[in-house]
Amino acid sequence: MISKEKGSGYKPLGRKNYGSIPHLPLSRMGPGDHKCSEGQARIATERARDQHDRIFCTEKLDGSNVGIVRIGDAIFPLGRAGYLAASSPYLQHRLFSRWAYDNADRFLDILDDSERLVGEWLWQAHGTRYNLPHEPFVAFDIMVGAERILYDDLEYRLRGHFVMPALLGDPPDPVSIQYAMELLATYGYHGATDPIEGAVWRVERNKLIDKHSGKRKWVVDFLVKYVRPDKIDGQYLQNEYKDVAIINGHPTVYEWELGN
C-alpha cells in the first residue's frame, strides 16, 4: 500500500486519514514500517488470551489508502495523509474524489456525522495488478478519530452498499500466517492477476471497564499485518522510467480519461 499524496494543506480531520499497521514476524517491511510485539503476534495468529478475544483475518489489498468523512450533510474524500483527495498531485486520488462525489448518497446513507469510511482505492496498479470483479473501492473500516467500530457492526452497515476484503478462517479463532496464505492461494478473492500482497488481522477485545461491577465493553484492540517477503512495493507505479499508469480492469473505470 503506497500513498505519497501531498494536498493543498487543508485536512478536514486535522489528522491523517489512516495510520500504519504493525507487521507480524517474517512480514516484508519497508522504510518507516514497524513490527508488532511478540504478544500481539501470538494472540492474532496462535492463541487468543481467553473467551474475551475475537480475531478476524482478511485479505490485504494493494492500492492507495483513502477515506470519506461526513461532516454535517457533506462528504470530504481524503488521501491517506488526510488532505483532500481533489488537491492531490496524483491522478488516481483526483479520480477517487470524483468517484466519491458521484456516489455521495451511498456514503451519506451509512455514515453518521464525523464518521469516516476508510478503504483501498484500486483504480491504479501499485505492486499488484487486478482484474476487478467489483468497483475499485474496497472498504475496511468506519472510524471516528482513531477509534474503529466493531467488525460485525462494520459488516452489517456495509452489507449491500460496499465491498469488503475477503474474510479468512472462522472467527473468533486465530488464523496462522501459513493458513491465511493457503486460504488466499496465489491470487486471493478480488481478481488479482499477480500474487496477492498478504493479510490483515484484527483483534477485538471484550475489555473490562469497571472492576467493581464487572462491566465490559467490546473494542478493537489492535491490528497487525503480514506482507509476503518477495512483494515489491509500487513496481507498477509511474516514475521517471514509466510514464504510463497501469489501470486495473473494471468497466466503471475505463470511461475516465487519463488526461483529466
Give the contacts of 242 (CB within 8 A, at least 6 positions apart).
236
- Which stretches in the chain have pLDDT values below 70? 1-8, 239-244, 250-260
**Can you give the pLDDT at residue 252?**
54
**Can you give the pLDDT at residue 115?**
98
User: Quick one: which H or E segment has residue 55?
Assistant: strand 53-60
- According to CATH, the superfamily of the domain at 38-249 is DNA ligase/mRNA capping enzyme (3.30.470.30)
**pTM for the whole structure:** 0.91
**Can you give the pLDDT at residue 238?**
74
How many whole angstroms separate alpha carbon 251 and alpha carbon 259? 18
Closest CA to 128 of 254, 21, 227: 227
- Residue 196 corresponds to which cell in the numbers above? 496477492
